[in-house]
Structure 1
């Protein structure tokens, strides 16, 4: 069994979505400077870097991420779809329909557009011109009862050029106005620059922080040789 890290490390160079503030990481104590130990102060919004959007992010009646049991973040039926998209393009229902048989029975759907390849070389473009999802994609994905999360290789489910579509996508996926309480988590800014064939299990483990909508995540996959 081989393990693949599907998260990016959080750093001061982490790309940010639109005009969000970047992470600040300051060393408070330093052994090199004569202190007895090393210690850091980290200041960042909870949507910087690889993170999971929980229901409360767009759903006023939704659960906060820390209210979900740990088993909710372990996925045994993973499907990876390559759907190439570039700057400002949307993933629509029409893009997903040809893969209906693969999505059926899936608990984690990973969508790889290829946009993640520019994350390091062009972080401004990555944070301001990312692909996104359309409202039609959300309505289509909610039909699949087994689906618990969707992951992606771009910074946000919302393309800055298509804010209305992205907001509607988030609201539908995170269960706003649903009476049955159903929602699908969104794992944004994943590192999918790997060979993801034969992935058997994915763990998307959030940092449990009480009282917040969403949280940073360490995501890794187990892959059969």
Structure 2
């Protein structure tokens, strides 16, 4: 059994989306400086780094991540799509339609645009010129009843320069205004630079923090 790590470590070098505040890590106690133990302050918003957008992020009637059962974050029917996109481009319904047979029956859909390749080399561009999804893509994906989450290799499902479309995408995909309670989680800033053949299961377990909309997640896959 081999495990693939699909999340990035949270650090002071984590790229941030648009004008989000950066991650701050400050050591409070240090063994090297004579203290008995090491201890740190970590200051960050909950949408920096690899994280899961829960329904309450854009849906006032939506659930918080800590209110979902743990099994909701375990996926056994993962599909990965390669849909190349670069600065400011949108993933549309038309981009997804040709993959309908692959999406059908999936519980986790990973969309690999290739934009994640610049995450370390050009973090400013990564956080300010990222591709995103259109509202039409959200409406299309919500048709697939088995789909519980989508994961992406860029910092936000909202293209930084196309916020109107990104806001609509989030509202639709997170179930705002729906009477049936259906929603699809969004896993942002994933490391998808792997070979996903023979992956059996993906674990995307959030850090459960009461009272917040979304949370950090350490994500890994198991493959034969």
Q: TM (normalized to structure 1)? A: 0.99
CA distance in 1, matches of 2:196, 2:165: 29
CA distance in 2, matches of 1:161, 1:188: 17
Name the counterpart of 1:125.
125
What displacement does 1:198 show?
1.5
Name the counterpart of 2:100.
100
What displacement does 1:4 show?
0.3
1:18 correspondence with 2:18: yes
Aligned 1:160-175 pairs, distance under 5 A: 160-175=160-175
Name the counterpart of 2:218.
218
CA distance in 1, matches of 2:198, 2:109: 14
Name the counterpart of 1:51.
51
What SS class does the counterpart of residue 160 from structure 1 fall into?
A: coil
What displacement does 1:131 show?
0.4
Unaligned runs of 5+ in 2: none
What SS class does the counterpart of residue 212 from structure 2 fall into?
A: coil
Name the counterpart of 1:38.
38
What displacement does 1:72 show?
0.3
Deviations 1:170-203 (A, max 9, x none): 0000000000111000000000111111211000
What displacement does 1:19 show?
0.5
Name the counterpart of 1:77.
77
Unaligned runs of 5+ in 1: none
Deviations 1:81-102 (A, max 9, x none): 0000001000000000000000
Q: TM (normalized to structure 2)? A: 0.99
Name the counterpart of 1:152.
152
What SS class does the counterpart of residue 121 from structure 2 fall into?
A: coil
What displacement does 1:46 show?
0.1
Tell me how many residue pairs correspond in the alignment. 224
Name the counterpart of 1:4.
4
Deviations 1:95-116 (A, max 9, x none): 0000000000000000000000
What SS class does the counterpart of residue 105 from structure 1 fall into?
A: coil
Deviations 1:5-60 (A, max 9, x none): 00000000000000000010000000000000000000100000000000000000
Q: CA RMSD in A?
A: 0.4
1:116 correspondence with 2:88: no
What SS class does the counterpart of residue 161 from structure 1 fall into?
A: coil
Name the counterpart of 2:176.
176
